[in-house]
Amino acid sequence: MIHSRFKHLLVQIRQAEIAYNRKPESVLLLAVSKTKSAKDIAAAYQAGQRHFGESYCQEALKKQQELGAFDITWHFIGPVQSNKTKVLATHFAWVHSVDSLKIAKRLSEQRPSALPPLNICLQVNISGEQSKSGITLNELPQLCELVSELPNIKLRGVMAIPMPEEDFELQRQPYKTLYQAVAKLNNPELNTYSFGMSGDLNAAIAEGATIVRIGTALFGAREYK
Protein backbone atom coordinates (compact mmCIF):
# COMPACT_ATOMS: atom_id res chain seq x y z
CA MET A 1 0.00 0.00 0.00
CA ILE A 2 2.69 2.50 1.06
CA HIS A 3 4.86 1.33 -1.81
CA SER A 4 2.21 2.01 -4.44
CA ARG A 5 1.21 5.36 -2.89
CA PHE A 6 4.88 6.33 -2.91
CA LYS A 7 5.27 5.51 -6.61
CA HIS A 8 2.08 7.38 -7.41
CA LEU A 9 3.22 10.45 -5.46
CA LEU A 10 6.54 10.59 -7.24
CA VAL A 11 4.75 10.46 -10.58
CA GLN A 12 2.43 13.25 -9.44
CA ILE A 13 5.38 15.41 -8.35
CA ARG A 14 7.34 14.84 -11.57
CA GLN A 15 4.22 15.62 -13.63
CA ALA A 16 3.58 18.81 -11.68
CA GLU A 17 7.18 19.91 -12.29
CA ILE A 18 6.57 19.56 -16.01
CA ALA A 19 3.14 21.19 -15.91
CA TYR A 20 4.40 24.28 -14.05
CA ASN A 21 7.74 24.70 -15.81
CA ARG A 22 9.79 23.63 -12.86
CA LYS A 23 13.21 22.05 -13.28
CA PRO A 24 13.10 18.24 -13.33
CA GLU A 25 13.63 16.81 -9.84
CA SER A 26 13.64 20.25 -8.22
CA VAL A 27 10.94 19.17 -5.74
CA LEU A 28 11.88 16.88 -2.85
CA LEU A 29 9.32 14.61 -1.27
CA LEU A 30 9.44 14.82 2.52
CA ALA A 31 7.49 11.90 4.00
CA VAL A 32 5.66 13.15 7.09
CA SER A 33 5.58 10.14 9.41
CA LYS A 34 4.17 11.71 12.58
CA THR A 35 1.86 9.27 14.41
CA LYS A 36 3.00 6.49 12.05
CA SER A 37 5.03 3.47 13.14
CA ALA A 38 8.67 2.65 12.48
CA LYS A 39 7.29 -0.20 10.38
CA ASP A 40 5.48 2.24 8.09
CA ILE A 41 8.66 4.32 7.78
CA ALA A 42 10.61 1.18 6.92
CA ALA A 43 8.07 0.38 4.19
CA ALA A 44 8.52 3.82 2.61
CA TYR A 45 12.27 3.48 3.01
CA GLN A 46 12.25 0.17 1.18
CA ALA A 47 10.34 1.85 -1.64
CA GLY A 48 13.19 4.38 -1.90
CA GLN A 49 12.22 7.26 0.40
CA ARG A 50 15.05 8.80 2.48
CA HIS A 51 13.72 12.08 3.95
CA PHE A 52 11.24 11.85 6.82
CA GLY A 53 9.50 14.60 8.77
CA GLU A 54 8.31 14.42 12.37
CA SER A 55 6.36 16.90 14.52
CA TYR A 56 6.76 15.57 18.04
CA CYS A 57 10.15 15.27 19.69
CA GLN A 58 9.72 12.23 21.91
CA GLU A 59 7.89 10.27 19.27
CA ALA A 60 10.58 11.07 16.73
CA LEU A 61 13.45 10.03 19.00
CA LYS A 62 11.86 6.68 19.67
CA LYS A 63 11.52 5.96 15.96
CA GLN A 64 15.03 7.21 15.25
CA GLN A 65 16.34 4.66 17.74
CA GLU A 66 14.32 1.85 16.20
CA LEU A 67 15.54 2.82 12.74
CA GLY A 68 19.15 3.52 13.68
CA ALA A 69 20.51 1.30 10.91
CA PHE A 70 18.66 3.19 8.18
CA ASP A 71 20.23 6.00 6.18
CA ILE A 72 17.46 8.52 6.91
CA THR A 73 17.62 12.33 6.83
CA TRP A 74 15.34 13.54 9.63
CA HIS A 75 13.43 16.82 9.39
CA PHE A 76 11.56 18.44 12.28
CA ILE A 77 8.40 20.24 11.16
CA GLY A 78 6.42 20.75 14.38
CA PRO A 79 6.21 23.70 16.77
CA VAL A 80 9.57 24.25 18.51
CA GLN A 81 9.56 24.74 22.28
CA SER A 82 12.71 26.24 23.82
CA ASN A 83 13.18 23.27 26.12
CA LYS A 84 13.39 20.97 23.06
CA THR A 85 16.01 22.85 21.05
CA LYS A 86 18.91 20.77 22.35
CA VAL A 87 17.26 17.52 21.28
CA LEU A 88 16.41 18.98 17.89
CA ALA A 89 19.92 20.38 17.38
CA THR A 90 21.37 16.96 18.20
CA HIS A 91 19.05 14.58 16.38
CA PHE A 92 17.84 16.30 13.23
CA ALA A 93 19.39 17.51 9.96
CA TRP A 94 16.65 20.07 9.32
CA VAL A 95 14.22 22.17 11.36
CA HIS A 96 11.53 23.74 9.15
CA SER A 97 9.59 25.51 11.86
CA VAL A 98 11.89 28.15 13.35
CA ASP A 99 9.85 31.23 14.22
CA SER A 100 12.02 33.41 16.46
CA LEU A 101 15.58 34.65 16.84
CA LYS A 102 15.64 33.13 20.31
CA ILE A 103 14.94 29.62 18.97
CA ALA A 104 17.45 30.07 16.14
CA LYS A 105 20.15 31.16 18.62
CA ARG A 106 19.51 28.21 20.88
CA LEU A 107 19.67 25.77 17.95
CA SER A 108 22.97 27.31 16.83
CA GLU A 109 24.47 27.23 20.33
CA GLN A 110 23.34 23.66 20.94
CA ARG A 111 24.29 22.13 17.59
CA PRO A 112 27.06 19.61 18.36
CA SER A 113 30.35 20.73 16.80
CA ALA A 114 30.95 17.32 15.27
CA LEU A 115 27.88 17.75 13.07
CA PRO A 116 27.51 19.94 9.97
CA PRO A 117 25.41 23.11 10.46
CA LEU A 118 21.73 22.47 11.12
CA ASN A 119 19.57 23.38 8.12
CA ILE A 120 16.70 25.63 9.06
CA CYS A 121 13.72 27.32 7.49
CA LEU A 122 11.82 30.25 8.93
CA GLN A 123 8.14 29.49 9.29
CA VAL A 124 6.06 32.34 7.93
CA ASN A 125 2.41 32.80 8.77
CA ILE A 126 1.05 33.98 5.44
CA SER A 127 -2.65 33.47 6.02
CA GLY A 128 -2.50 35.62 9.14
CA GLU A 129 -4.24 33.02 11.24
CA GLN A 130 -4.12 33.67 14.96
CA SER A 131 -3.75 30.03 15.87
CA LYS A 132 -0.82 29.13 13.62
CA SER A 133 2.75 29.79 14.59
CA GLY A 134 5.13 31.62 12.31
CA ILE A 135 6.54 35.10 11.78
CA THR A 136 4.83 37.77 9.70
CA LEU A 137 6.02 38.76 6.25
CA ASN A 138 7.14 42.10 7.71
CA GLU A 139 9.45 40.38 10.16
CA LEU A 140 11.07 38.22 7.48
CA PRO A 141 13.84 40.50 6.11
CA GLN A 142 15.36 41.40 9.46
CA LEU A 143 15.08 37.92 10.91
CA CYS A 144 16.78 36.47 7.80
CA GLU A 145 19.70 38.82 8.33
CA LEU A 146 20.11 38.06 12.01
CA VAL A 147 19.70 34.31 11.63
CA SER A 148 22.17 34.17 8.72
CA GLU A 149 24.91 35.35 11.07
CA LEU A 150 24.56 32.43 13.48
CA PRO A 151 27.47 30.01 13.12
CA ASN A 152 26.07 26.49 13.52
CA ILE A 153 22.85 26.74 11.59
CA LYS A 154 22.34 27.36 7.92
CA LEU A 155 19.30 29.35 6.86
CA ARG A 156 17.95 27.60 3.76
CA GLY A 157 14.60 29.26 3.19
CA VAL A 158 11.01 29.42 4.36
CA MET A 159 8.20 27.13 5.39
CA ALA A 160 4.47 27.85 5.29
CA ILE A 161 1.25 26.14 6.31
CA PRO A 162 -1.52 28.25 4.78
CA MET A 163 -5.14 28.00 5.77
CA PRO A 164 -6.70 24.97 4.01
CA GLU A 165 -8.53 25.89 0.81
CA GLU A 166 -10.31 23.71 -1.74
CA ASP A 167 -9.93 26.04 -4.69
CA PHE A 168 -6.68 25.67 -6.64
CA GLU A 169 -6.22 29.40 -7.29
CA LEU A 170 -6.85 30.21 -3.62
CA GLN A 171 -4.33 27.54 -2.65
CA ARG A 172 -1.69 29.19 -4.85
CA GLN A 173 -2.12 32.72 -3.55
CA PRO A 174 -0.28 32.62 -0.19
CA TYR A 175 2.61 30.66 -1.70
CA LYS A 176 2.95 33.20 -4.49
CA THR A 177 3.04 36.05 -1.97
CA LEU A 178 5.70 34.39 0.15
CA TYR A 179 7.80 33.34 -2.84
CA GLN A 180 7.87 36.92 -4.08
CA ALA A 181 8.79 38.25 -0.64
CA VAL A 182 11.77 35.89 -0.48
CA ALA A 183 12.82 36.72 -4.05
CA LYS A 184 12.93 40.40 -3.06
CA LEU A 185 15.55 39.63 -0.41
CA ASN A 186 17.89 38.74 -3.25
CA ASN A 187 19.80 36.17 -1.22
CA PRO A 188 20.87 33.14 -3.30
CA GLU A 189 21.29 31.06 -0.13
CA LEU A 190 17.56 31.21 0.44
CA ASN A 191 16.41 28.64 -2.07
CA THR A 192 14.26 26.26 -0.04
CA TYR A 193 10.51 26.61 -0.13
CA SER A 194 8.90 24.11 2.21
CA PHE A 195 5.43 24.46 0.74
CA GLY A 196 2.57 22.04 0.30
CA MET A 197 0.92 19.07 1.99
CA SER A 198 -1.29 16.24 0.69
CA GLY A 199 -4.19 18.57 -0.12
CA ASP A 200 -2.34 21.29 -2.03
CA LEU A 201 0.90 19.90 -3.41
CA ASN A 202 0.17 20.83 -7.03
CA ALA A 203 -0.55 24.45 -6.07
CA ALA A 204 2.62 24.51 -3.97
CA ILE A 205 4.74 23.13 -6.82
CA ALA A 206 3.17 25.66 -9.19
CA GLU A 207 4.39 28.42 -6.86
CA GLY A 208 7.94 27.27 -6.30
CA ALA A 209 7.91 24.53 -3.63
CA THR A 210 11.24 22.72 -3.34
CA ILE A 211 10.11 20.47 -0.48
CA VAL A 212 6.58 19.12 -0.23
CA ARG A 213 5.64 17.66 3.16
CA ILE A 214 3.32 14.72 2.57
CA GLY A 215 1.73 12.57 5.25
CA THR A 216 -1.78 11.35 4.45
CA ALA A 217 -1.26 10.75 0.73
CA LEU A 218 1.65 8.43 1.54
CA PHE A 219 0.81 6.77 4.85
CA GLY A 220 -2.99 7.08 4.92
CA ALA A 221 -5.13 9.01 7.41
CA ARG A 222 -3.79 9.65 10.91
CA GLU A 223 -5.71 8.43 13.93
CA TYR A 224 -4.75 11.37 16.07
CA LYS A 225 -3.27 14.71 15.17
Site map 133..172 versus ligand PLP, x via CB under 6 A: ----------------------------x-----------
Contact stretch for ligand PLP (CB under 6 A) within 5-13, 37-45, 168-176, 212-220: 212-220
Q: How far is the CB of 123 from ligand PLP (least distance, A)?
A: 8
When asked if residue 197 is in the footprint of ligand PLP (CB under 6 A), the reply is yes
Nearest-5° angle of CA 69, CA 51, CA 121? 130
> Rule CB under 6 A: which of 64-103 touch ligand PLP?
77
Q: Closest CB to ligand PLP among 79 and 141?
A: 79
Phi, psi for 89 (deg, rounded to 5): -65, -25
When asked if residue 199 is in the footprint of ligand PLP (CB under 6 A), the reply is yes
Which one of 29, 32, 95, 160 is in contact with ligand PLP (CB under 6 A)?
A: 32
Contact stretch for ligand PLP (CB under 6 A) within 5-13, 44-52, 142-150, 210-218: 210-218
Question: 131 near 161, Cβ under 8 Å?
Answer: no
Separation of alpha carbons 85 and 102, rounded Å: 10
Q: Closest CB to ligand PLP among 23 and 225?
A: 225
Size of the site for ligand PLP (CB under 6 A): 13
In terms of Cβ atoms closer than 10 Å to its own Cβ (0-12, 13-18, 19+), residue 91 is middle
Residues facing residue 120 across a β-bridge: 95, 155
The CA-atom distances, in angstroms, between 13 and each of 20, 23, 209, 216 are 11, 11, 11, 15
Q: Closest CB to ligand PLP among 150 and 197?
A: 197
List for the chain the helix, strand, coil content (%; round to 5). 45, 20, 40
What are the contacts of 21-28 at 24+ separation with CB within 8 A? 22/205, 22/208, 26/210, 27/205, 27/209, 27/210, 27/211, 27/212, 28/210, 28/211, 28/212
DSSP H helices in 68-195: 85-91, 101-110, 140-148, 168-185
Which one of 46, 58, 82, 216 is in contact with ligand PLP (CB under 6 A)?
A: 216
Q: Closest CB to ligand PLP among 174 and 215?
A: 215
Phi, psi for 13 (deg, rounded to 5): -65, -45
Q: How far is the CB of 77 from ligand PLP (least distance, A)?
A: 4
Q: How far is the CB of 23 from ligand PLP (least distance, A)?
A: 23
Contact stretch for ligand PLP (CB under 6 A) within 19-27, 126-134, 179-187, 207-215: 207-215
Residue numbers at the binding site for ligand PLP (CB under 6 A): 32, 34, 55, 77, 161, 197-199, 213-217
